[in-house]
Structure 1
């Protein structure tokens, strides 16, 4: 099944210690992990796809909700016209591209595409 535009597709958490996080979620819930370099790991078998990004910063809001859209430029303009603002412009990562935006209340979300 392919991705669906405008649906929550992925959640991303922050973590200070990826090895400890992987051990915890594997033991507690049976999640499986795939490493994407030293600072990122994705998880599966959780009910929704997601990952953990290593950070040294204090974790205030540790989750990033990631939506999917097959045309980042189109949805980016739609978000701006609706009153959102871009907090991180489009960038590439292994597997695709994404950008981050703030909703009118300041919640940060992201949108990705292949």
Structure 2
């Protein structure tokens, strides 16, 4: 059986402000983008392939959305970069069993988190 069978292969997220969302993720996390028309952009260099589609919706835990969690070896540095790029901190750094993390909201209103075991 293929080792990738039943693995998460691609994630799609809504984007109310597609251009601002792309700029944010390029600046903070160095993601790369490939546009497929004016309403869709695929991202890479993120650990998993995915894309943002133009939408008036946003994904966050308050409305039952899945939480995408990124890893950082420098949690404080990552939080500072998120804030400097205009991201809003929803939950500042907190500890949980196994590590620490923070939650943020990017320009299109999607909530993501960043965690570290350091």
Shorter-chain TM range is 0.3 to 0.5
More strand by percentage: 1
Q: TM-score, length-normalised on structure 1? A: 0.48
Q: TM-score, length-normalised on structure 2? A: 0.46
